[in-house]
Structure 1
């Protein structure tokens, strides 16, 4: 027992005993296998915290949302030029109407131009224009107001005596409807009254009127004009639509 105690070192001495060369190399290799992955993982975490892109980041070039939900930079295109607001409106173009006789446009004669009324017009009746048994009279409307107005359609035309009674029947419509006619201040437009020469038919002639009563197209107010020279024969009494 005493000899065994002298030859067997205590446990503490066995722990302090230097390892053999093979054992030391194995320990160093083990430490390298353990420490290298740990170092790589630590470096990755530090890099992510210093500017790495989070997994939830959008595609390159995407912008965040400004307060209120609108995208930043949406008020201008990418080329740097400013864009008009979505609520911008374009001013309407000036309305125009065409002169039926020339085809030229007249500024300010759009839908806003008022219709000519009886109190803004004067009338005149031209002399008879005879030819091939037909007789034509030019009835002219003149705009006496200070603003332009329009007429379109057929007037109502009747022959009346001094006491207001009618002669014959009102003029019938002849020809096609014309385009709306713009009449500037002091300008005129016309219709043509048509009858037949005496003796062309067996119908005879109507009594000569004292006045001509005319309703401008679209008007409920009548105008009167002395027209004793008007002579209607052959039961033919017509009017065209207003024209230049």
Structure 2
């Protein structure tokens, strides 16, 4: 499987036993811009978890910065990610998205990521993941450690609304970043018009 920015594969609704995969850090697809300040697709959640900043207010992400007062925010280039399907029950399907700090310094994440299913041409399938639950506290991720979010959808046929097209890419904006991690051919199937993400937790 080809991995684009950073990535890992997940099974669809019915395949519960697919192994996880880890991103390799290659660059993203030509159809998607990951440059700092790149526009977010219409309707896509603000990756910072607040009002969308103007392009001039965005600080380019380079590495996990550290300041005298404590660790800085985890930038996209400081992270890798993996995705696998978790437990299912009562028609609910959960995917565990793991973000690993691959830098040499501790960094932090606070709030919700921006998560979208993307076609090969760069267009968004359905709607970006809605936020589920509270924003939570700031999570400090030591070098080599990880944090997680949970993506939630339904099994096919639960609400009778069918399933969205399977995506060519899963695009994830870490909280506070306008650069995305991208997973090619994620095998993630959203059904019942339900697609949500929790906030980052340790």
Structure with more relative contact order (C-alpha pairs < 8 Å, separation 6 or more): 2
What TM-score, normalized to structure 1? 0.54
CA deviations over 1:137-167 (Å, ceiling 9, x no partner): 0001000100000001000000001221210
Question: Paired residues, what number?
Answer: 137
Structure 1, 119-128 or 182-191: larger mean CA deviation: 119-128
Which residue is equivalent to 1:219? 177
Secondary structure of 2:80's aligned partner? strand
- 1:179 aligned partner: 137
Alignment pair present for 1:192 and 2:142: no
CA contact (8 A) 1:214 1:224 kept: yes
Shift of 1:228: 2.9
Deviations for 1:52-99, whole angstroms, at most 9, x for unmatched residues? xxxxxxxxxxxxxxxxxxxxxxxxxxxxxxxxxxxxxxxxxxxxxxxx
Does the 8 Å contact 1:125/1:227 carry over to 2?
no
Say which SS state the counterpart of residue 119 (structure 1) adopts: helix
- CA distance in 1: counterparts of 2:157 and 2:122, whole angstroms: 28
State the TM-score, normalized to the length of structure 2: 0.65
Cα contact 1:154–1:239 (8 A) shared by 2: yes
Structure 1 stretches of 5 or more lacking a match?
A: 1-107
Candidates 140, 148, 153, aligned match of 2:111: 153
> Whose helix fraction is larger, Structure 1's or Structure 2's?
1
Alignment equivalent of 2:126, drawn from 168, 193, 199: 168
1:227 deviation in Å?
4.3
For residue 187 of structure 2, give the secondary structure of its aligned residue in structure 1: coil
Q: CA deviation at 1:110?
A: 8.5
Kindly report the root-mean-square deviation, in angstroms, between the aligned alpha carbons of the 2 structures: 1.7
Q: Provide the rounded CA distance (Å) in 2 between the counterparts of 1:192 and 1:180.
A: 16
Structure 1 match to 2:186: 228
Q: d(CA) in 1 for partners of 2:69 and 2:93?
A: 36
